[in-house]
Amino acid sequence: MKSRPHLALWLAAVSAAITAETAPPQLQTPDLTPVTFLQPVSHPPVALVRDGQPLATVYVSELTPSANLTLLVNELVEVVTLSTGATLDVVKDPPPADRPAIIIGNGEESTKAGIDATKLPIEGFVVKTAPNRVFLVGSTRPLPPMEIRNLAGSPYANDGTAWAVADFLERFVGVRWYWPITTGGRSVLKQATLSIQPSHYSDQPVFRKREFYPWYGYTRGSWRSVWFDKDAPTLPDSLLPPGTEKIEMQPLLAGLRAGNSWPYIIKVHEPQSFSREPNRWAEHADMFQREADGAPNLRMLCYSSQKALDYILEGCEKTWDQGKSVSWVTTTCVTVSPGDYRVHCHCEPCARLFEPDRAPYGTGSKVMALFVKRMCEAVKKRWPDKKVLYLPYWNYTECQEEIVFPDNLEVQMCTMAFGLMRQTEPRAHMERSLRAWSKKVGGRITTWEYSHRLPEWTCAPVQYPHLVQDYYRANHEILAGSFLNGGMIGEWSTAATTDYCWMKVLWNPDVNIDFMLDTLCDRMFGKAATACRELLRLECVRWEKAKWSEGLGDAGRVSPAVFTDTYPPEVVAKMIELRDRARREMAGDAVSEKRFAYWTWTFDAFLKEAKDAWSKAVRK
């Protein structure tokens, strides 16, 4: 992370690049995503709260607010109250012109103020002030109809107005959402008066898919630090409000603008219910993958089988021609996604195509590519306006360069344990596949990223926010965004700093990671901010840059040798020193103490892991 002198230099550069007229001091916040500043209208400041007394009302002009907008309007009222002590009323009728108001959404008044919501890019928004008015308006460009959710649970929507509210809360009210609100992850600054200087700016996401799972939150079953170890430490009840049984994620994710407006939604591992009815499907054995002994595997289709192709196409016919819903077809596309296993069918047609020399990511690629090509051809012939969405994964991740697909192919590619892409060749391998698939579809693709593989495999404080940023910067031209496959609570506790940055990067990869992390420590840990920054810097440097004596596989288990390379005794001793110093410096600050305890609740278990790894590395 950069030191404080860098902050002063950065602010000086910002001030030199934009005038005070186009960017009020309130907007010069280097830890937030950059926006496009526009010329504001000259008018007196819009006073929303003065000396703890509410002056303004909130009016939502959207006739049918989205789920995210509803969450964030509630958050606006709550956060303003926490910040100023004043409660702003949400009114049903447009406020009079002489009454200060926050106007949310597109309407007659915002149009008269010069905001054309129809011209804003999808998920884009404008924040614009006028006399007695703060307009928060998002794009109204239509999306293809879609009544569906995927594993991320995020509504498919053009949610620009919701994101305008989130940005306003961060930039003007001063809130930050670092980890779940239930666990103390929301930081709100105190101020008796909330007055908005003349402002006008716009923004839009770089990536249209920004999803995180589990979107619904974490129940007790997912409070374990290491998922495969039932005896692993669990998040202490003392760090949560009394009676907490579930840590909600929706308010946090809405604040971080997790959403999706990409029109091709994966139906992962579909169709996949055959094994539930073995008697029925045993009569169609030639539709399923053959094991080495010739037995059919009802969990996996055979992707050389005409019957399997016909079955998936039958679902398209039911959905697109007959109006009947099936699990693998949406209004815009049909998914091709095998069950959650390697593709390795021993029937004669598949066996001829299997390529053992392309392990681990390409042995089944030719089998699947030829099937997907046939699917694309059949769909294009019968439903030329529909797409085939393919999920390259397991041993069929690699792109078959020699196979030419019709122009109705869409791809969402699974990569590897993301934190392990700090290794040069594994990352390069993944990126070659991404670029090859992008070339095949003739545009952007999406990815399925494994954010859980590391935070839930070890108690170590694995941090790699700079790696995340570098990846999306390097691939922004070929990616439309990502689905983040999470797991246990460790992701949004010990690794929360990385996941917070990740969600911000998915909005715009040109955020300033170091200022974001510095500001997080300042706001969350009070007098111990400096010690916490040093600890976080050290954690980032060790995982992102420590030299490893051996490589790691894809899953996320950290070998004793790599653990020792990353966290040798002298580094761990420094981490203990910083942890203990932070505790001393924040003593008596109950809020900071609880936040720090939540962020470091696996630290003692990490020390035991380190000692065990050192002993095994020495014996080896």
The pLDDT tens digits for 46-95 are 999 999 999 999 999 988 999 999 999 999 999 999 999 999 999 999 99
What is the distance between the alpha carbons of residues 99 and 88, in angstroms, rounded to a whole number?
12
Average pLDDT of the chain, as a whole number:
93
Looking at the predicted structure, is the pLDDT value of residue 1 above 80? no
- pTM for this structure? 0.94
Give me the pLDDT at residue 19, please: 32
Structure tokens at 79: 């956060």
Average pLDDT, integer, range 459-464: 97
Q: Quickly state the pLDDT bin for 26 (edges 50, 70, 90).
A: low
pLDDT per residue as tens digits for the range 547-592: 999 999 887 889 999 999 999 999 999 999 999 999 999 999 999 9
Among 400, 474, 405, which Cα is nearest to 441's?
Answer: 405
Reading the block at residue 415, the tokens are 């990569």
pLDDT (0 to 100) of residue 318: 97
C-alpha count within 13 angstroms, C-beta hemisphere, residue 269: 13
Would you say 466 and 544 are in contact if contact means Cβ atoms under 8 Å apart?
yes
Structure tokens at 492: 């949004």
Contact between 501 and 471 under an 8 Å Cβ cutoff? The reply is no
The predicted model gives 514-533 an average pLDDT of 97
Q: For 135, which DSSP code? A: E
Residue 619 has pLDDT above 80, yes or no: no
**271 cis-preceded (ω within 30 degrees of 0):** yes
pLDDT tens profile 255-303: 999 999 999 999 999 998 898 888 889 889 999 999 999 999 999 999 9
pLDDT, tens digit, 9 for 90 and up, residues 82-124: 999 999 999 999 999 999 999 999 999 999 999 999 999 999 9
At residue 276, the pLDDT reads 86
Q: 419: which 2 tokens? A: 């934190």
- Give the residue among 308, 389, 311 at the shortest CA–CA distance from 349: 308
Alpha helices in 85-191 (DSSP H): 108-112, 160-168
Q: In angstroms, what CA-CA distances link 422 with 85, 215, 465, 470, 482? A: 46, 26, 11, 10, 18
Give the Cα separation of 529 and 261 in Å (integer).
37
- DSSP character string of 88-109: -EEESSPPPTTS-EEEESS-HH
Least confident of 28-32, 379-383, 409-413, 460-464: 28-32
List of residues 6+ apart from 109 with CB closer than 8 A:
61, 94, 103, 133, 135
pLDDT tens-place string over residues 310-361:
999 999 999 999 999 899 999 999 999 999 999 999 999 999 999 999 999 9
Which residues contact residue 331 at a Cβ distance below 8 angstroms, ignoring those fewer than 6 apart?
144, 145, 146, 147, 148, 319
Domains assigned to the chain: 20-214+249-260 (3.30.379.10), 266-450 (no CATH)
% of the chain exceeding 70 in pLDDT: 94
Residue 248 CA from chain centroid, whole number? 16
- 138: pLDDT strictly greater than 80: yes
What single DSSP character describes residue 493? T
pLDDT value of residue 553: 84
The yes-or-no verdict on residue 9 having pLDDT over 80 is no
CA separation, residue 350 to residues 191, 196, 291, 335 (Å):
67, 65, 11, 21
Residues 120/38, Cβ–Cβ less than 8 Å:
no
Structure tokens at 24: 């009020």
269, 290, 414: which is closest to 344 by C-alpha?
Answer: 290
What is the pLDDT, as a whole number, of residue 365? 97
Q: Is the dihedral of CA 241, 245, 251, 254 positive or negative?
A: positive
Average pLDDT over residues 166-186: 97
Say what the pLDDT of residue 21 is.
Answer: 37
> Could you give the CA distance from residue 206 to residue 473 in angstroms, rounded to a whole number?
10
**Token pair in block for residue 557:** 């288990």
Alpha-carbon separation of residue 250 from 205, 212, 227, 242, 449 (angstroms): 19, 10, 23, 20, 20
